[in-house]
Amino acid sequence: MTTVFSFRCTFRLPKIALAQHSRTFISHSTCRAFSAMAIRPAPEFVAKETAANIHQPRDPNTLSNYNAFRTKHTEADFEIDFNAKRLKGTVHLTLEKLVKDASKVILDSSYLEVFGVKAGARELKYDLSTSRVEPYGSPLSIGVPETDSSELKLSIDVATTKDCTALQWLTPAQTSNKKHPYMFSQCQAIHARSLFPCQDTPDVKSTYTFNLRSPLPVLASGLPTGPRDFKPGQNGEPGTLLYTFHQAIPMPSYLFAIASGDLASASIGPRSTVWTGPEELNASQWEFEKDTEPYIQAAEKIVYPYAWTTYNVLVLPPSFPYGGMENPVYTFATPTVVSGDRQNVDVIAHELSHSWSGNLVSNASWEHFWLNEGWTTYLERRIQAAIHGSDKHRDFSAIIGWKALSDSIKQYGEDHEFTKLIPDLKGQDPDDAFSSIPYEKGFTFLYHLEKLIGKVKWDKFIPHYFTAFKEKSVDSYEFKATLLSFFAGDAEVSKKLENLDWDTWFYKPGFPPKPDFDTELADQCYELAKKWEALNESKADNWEPSPANINMFTSNQSVVFLETLQSSQTTLKPDLIDLMGKTYGFAQSKNVELVSRYYVLGLQARDEKVYAPAAELLGRIGRMKFVRPVFRELMKCDMGLAQKVYDANKETWHPICRDMVRKMLEKGPKE
């Protein structure tokens, strides 16, 4: 049982016993202080400066001094200004003072305007750095008055700017009914700091109050409260309503979420509602109403009762960059899950699972992101097994996940830091490390532990873990310590865990050991792929493709069929790509999971007939799961067309997606 201390100046201390472990990040100035102390004792002022600037042990991706002050409650009073495309108002922070002599609060901020800071009626001096610390923004330093109180209340007048990375503003022309503008936020991983000054780290959890004024309906990651005060408009402008929400369960800043637009709602269960544009409401309601409540009940049996009162889904416009975002109370979801066949609602199972892993129990930093996503992927697949009544369904999902893991490792390279379960993100943008790796490598580790310990015993640990860290943040070492402690009285399991190579699982880059998945549901897909490979080589023994080949396939089986051919040593000829599209209807499908993979296969085959449709698809969607692989293959086929696609869509893609594609173009095609 060993682990490692890691310092921001990049040297490491010897491995020590787990019970003594903490992972600490110390500033470069502190490292210099250590060097001085090796020669002579440091003056007292050096020791005090070192203590004041030392980072909290776990998160290297924040500039805040959250070891000295910690946010307990956040109240956001904002007006949503669609004309100026900004939020403007006041954020009120209630902070707990942790260091008696601390005289300065340092908050994260990025591309913000700050107009003033108060403590009660008292104006406070502040400094918003004019130079950015990339990729973390500009720290806001606030001098605070001396007080014996352990609580500090700050009010900060603030406005977002055109460079805000957390918000996307859509014109009426970019919405489905072309009538009203739309705005939504996406704060994960470190984008909340571009909305308001905060301690933008998942290691800090706060309760929240939202007071949001807008001319259009508003949703936020809390429960609605109070009457909606109306304010008449001026100079021909529409009037506004004040929408209020409260989140009583502490949550990290990346779960701060707001949206405003032409929204309608419908019930999808006894404690669930779907929200979306009026034109999409019926389709969205049909897509989710069958499965949402059974998913919640299945998850509650695996962990414990749902804590957030109501579970709702907001289906966003196509530019939303993720499949879903697990904002409490309101999951933000991509419209690509509304495929008209209920084949993609596993996204909801995933985001629902975040209600326990990620939202109630949060990773302490983005280096431990697998604790959010690995656990959530594991719970999602347990839900699938419970709904379908067989573990072969979760193993089938895991086979799809292994392909996603393989693709991510291939793109980074097997020795890349970001392919580790616990990567070193000091000085890095967590968005650059976003991939399938924490999801699938994390799932594989938990799947391995389940098999190692035995499912009956493992299932008793699950609610214990989520109880032990409920409303808290946790790192991998605390997870390990909790697991060892839970099974300390079981000699058989304890011995297995002692013999587990934790360092290899945590720190080795590349692939984990591949589990022996049940392939029953995948074997049919593999067999069909072999027939197409044989047809490509003129060895098909008179076999001819027919729509009947996939009549009994689920959508995910068609996905595995296409992904098997993507990974094949045999590249299909362009005429076979065309034949496949016509025979199976992939190109005409409303299911983007199928269409995107079909286009990737066609681009791999250099089938020029799919170039334009693939480019058109990139203009209709913003979900990075699809944009990334299609754009990557398009670059290999036609860099000129890829550049045109970027130029045409960079203003409509979400900033996170746009930045990702820009970086792909800068690196160029990679075979």
Q: Check which CATH number belongs to the domain holding 460 and give it.
A: 1.10.390.10
Has 351 been annotated as catalytic? yes
Identify the residue whose tokens are 């693709």: 407
Confidence of residue 226 (pLDDT cuts 50, 70, 90): confident
Q: What CATH number corresponds to the domain at position 85? A: 2.60.40.1730
Q: What CATH number corresponds to the domain at position 324? A: 3.30.2010.30
pLDDT in tens, 289-329: 999 999 999 999 999 999 999 999 999 999 888 899 999 99
Confidence of residue 355 (pLDDT cuts 50, 70, 90): very high
Residue 226 in marked binding region: no
Domain presence at residue 183: yes
Q: Pick from 240, 262, 284: which residue ends a domain? A: 262
For residue 33, pLDDT over 80 is answered with no
Domain tally for the chain?
4
In 10 A of CB 342, how many CB atoms?
A: 16
Lowest mean pLDDT: which of 245-249, 477-481, 619-623?
619-623
Domain presence at residue 18: no
Residue 359 DSSP class: T
Domain presence at residue 443: yes
For residue 27, pLDDT over 50 is answered with no
Same domain, 79 and 212: yes
Residue 624 in marked binding region: yes
Residue 88 in marked binding region: no
Q: Report the distance separating Cα 597 and Cα 593, nearest Å.
A: 7
Q: Pick from 313, 329, 355: which residue ends a domain? A: 355
- Secondary element (H or E) of residue 168: strand 167-170
Same domain, 183 and 76: yes
What tokens does 108 get? 């994260």
Torsion over CA of 655, 408, 458 and 366, rounded to 10 degrees? -40
Residue 354 in marked binding region: yes
Same domain, 241 and 379: no
What tokens does 371 get? 């604790």
pLDDT in tens, 491-515: 999 999 999 999 999 999 999 999 9
Q: How distant, in Å, are the alpha carbons of 241, 345, 346, 367, 429 from that of 425?
A: 42, 32, 30, 6, 7
Residue 598 in marked binding region: no
Has 49 been annotated as catalytic? no
**Local structure of 421: helix, strand or coil:** coil
Decide if 314 contacts 331 (C-beta within 8 A): yes
| pLDDT, average across residues 274-284 | 96
Same domain, 109 and 167: yes
For residue 449, pLDDT over 90 is answered with yes
pLDDT in tens, 127-150: 999 899 999 999 999 999 888 889
Q: Tell me, what's the pLDDT at 237?
A: 86
Q: Report the distance separating Cα 14 and Cα 20, nearest Å.
A: 12
What tokens does 261 get? 């637009």
**Local structure of 95: helix, strand or coil:** strand
Same domain, 540 and 661: yes
Q: Which of 243, 378, 439, 477 is catalytic?
A: 439
Same domain, 502 and 579: no
**Local structure of 470: helix, strand or coil:** coil
Confidence of residue 57 (pLDDT cuts 50, 70, 90): low
Same domain, 225 and 82: yes
Lowest mean pLDDT: which of 28-42, 131-145, 568-582, 619-633?
28-42
Q: Which of 79, 280, 351, 593 is catalytic?
A: 351
Residue 321 in marked binding region: yes
What tokens does 483 get? 């697991």
Q: Report the distance separating Cα 307 and Cα 304, nearest Å.
A: 9
Residue 350 in marked binding region: yes
Residue 287 in marked binding region: no
Same domain, 250 and 284: no
Same domain, 499 and 524: no
Alpha carbon of residue 301 to chain centroid? 25
DSSP string of 324-349, one letter each residue: EE--SSEEEE-GGG--SSS-STHHHH
Same domain, 533 and 632: yes
Identify the residue whose tokens are 């160029």: 668
Q: Report the distance separating Cα 414 and Cα 408, nearest Å.
A: 9
For residue 3, pLDDT over 60 is answered with no
Domain presence at residue 570: yes
For residue 9, pLDDT over 80 is answered with no
Q: Pick from 199, 230, 262: which residue ends a domain? A: 262
Who's near 523: CB < 8 A, 6+ residues apart? none
Q: Report the distance separating Cα 394 and Cα 302, nearest Å.
A: 14
Domain presence at residue 117: yes
Q: Which domain holds residue 86?
A: 63-262
Same domain, 460 and 578: no
Residue 236 in marked binding region: no
For residue 21, pLDDT over 70 is answered with no
Confidence of residue 671 (pLDDT cuts 50, 70, 90): low
Domain presence at residue 58: no
Same domain, 246 and 118: yes
Domain presence at residue 38: no
Q: Tell me, what's the pLDDT at 38?
A: 35
Domain presence at residue 475: yes
Amino acid identity of residue 458, one-letter, is W
Identify the residue whose tokens are 């793109």: 411
For helices 437-453 and 370-388, angle between their N-to-C axes, nearest 10 degrees? 60
Angle value at C-alpha 510, between 506 and 514, nearest 5 degrees: 85
